[in-house]
Amino acid sequence: MQHGYHSTVESLWISFALSLVAVVYLHRWLRVAWLVSDGIKGWRASSFFVGLLLVWTALCSPLSLLDHDLLTAHMIQHLLLMTLAPPLIWLGEPLKLLPQRPMQRRKRVVFHPAVGWVGATAVLIAWHIPSIFMLGLRSDMWHGIEQASFLASGILFWWPVVEPSQSGLKWPEPSLLLYLFLATLPCDILSGFLVFCDRVVYTIYLSSPTRFGFTALEDQQCAGALMWTCVTVVYLIAAAIFTARLLSHRSVEVAIPKLDTPYSAPRHTAPHEMEAV
């Protein structure tokens, strides 16, 4: 009962914070849309709001009340916070609505691809270690830290993919395809382990009163399969879009001739040069 009370209070605070972010974004977006001809497009703003909605679904909807009873519900939370919501939020270009000068130097460090990849991988592995996983379920404070770390690492990871030209990338852009591929490996290993393991890894779910007809092992297998499928599909879509965008840029560069060579007028031969010839 006490855990439910704390969950309700936290949900109210999170809902208020997300609503405030949405209102601020909407206000600044409408202002930019009226004043700037090349402002953020409507579909991008819609993407931002959908991303916030997915965050709310993970943290405040009835789904959040099931994560102590079903590993599948817990996995859906992780996927929403780390894999689905962050790219949608970045597509809304929220940084365009903030002052740019003070943020340029910080963006180069914080949003560097190496930081995003290491952070996302570390968070994924750490929170699925059974002892740490149990800690997150038994403590409201650690559960909140867990959810915040998944969202933060997702935000850092997806920035170089959605906005590669502004990420401070130090290596060729095609390397982001390798970046995406390497990011799937920890997910594939973890999800494969959950699917094919013949015992329940997180024993807290053995005593779960609500499984909707699933055994604890079937719930674990379903969670692993869901993670495997979702990550594979989302990363393949991201890789396909990035490849298409990269190829379109290359084709434009080939089609437009380079104009950086200064024009030199044809040299006229002087009369005395003609006589010398």
Mean pLDDT of the region 201-228:
87
Distances (CA, A) of 153 to 110, 118, 119: 11, 9, 6
Structure tokens belonging to residue 158: 């997806």
Task: Kindly report the length of the chain.
Answer: 277
Is 23 in a helix, a strand, or coil? helix
pLDDT at 271: 52
pLDDT at 1: 39
| CA 23 to chain centroid | 22
Is 235 in a helix, a strand, or coil? helix
Indicate if the pLDDT at residue 276 is higher than 90: no
In 3D space, the residue among 133, 131, 154, 147 whose CA is nearest the CA of residue 235 turns out to be 154
CA distance 145 to 213: 31
pLDDT per position as a tens digit, 217-267: 999 999 999 999 999 999 999 999 888 877 876 665 555 555 444 545 555
* Burial class for 220, CB neighbours closer than 10 Å (0-12, 13-18, 19+): buried
Mean pLDDT of the region 57-81:
91
Binned at pLDDT 50, 70 and 90, residue 277 comes out as very low
Helix axes 2-35, 42-60, angle to 10 degrees: 170
> Mean pLDDT in the chain?
82
| CA 173 to chain centroid | 18
Indicate if the pLDDT at residue 173 is higher than 50: yes
Could you tell me if 160 and 86 are in contact, meaning their C-beta atoms sit under 8 angstroms apart? no
Structure tokens belonging to residue 199: 């015992």
Which residues make Cβ contacts (< 8 Å) with residue 138, sequence separation at least 6? Answer: 204
Q: Which residue has the higher pLDDT, 8 or 265?
A: 8
Binned at pLDDT 50, 70 and 90, residue 47 comes out as very high
Could you tell me if 141 and 68 are in contact, meaning their C-beta atoms sit under 8 angstroms apart? no
Which range among 117-131, 150-164, 205-219 shows the weakest confidence by mean pLDDT? 205-219
Mean pLDDT of the region 106-135:
86
Could you tell me if 136 and 127 are in contact, meaning their C-beta atoms sit under 8 angstroms apart? yes
Domain boundaries, the chain: 2-97+107-253
pLDDT at 99: 67
Q: What percent of the chain stands above pLDDT 70?
A: 76
Phi-psi region for residue 264, left (φ > 0), alpha (ψ -120 to 50) or beta? beta
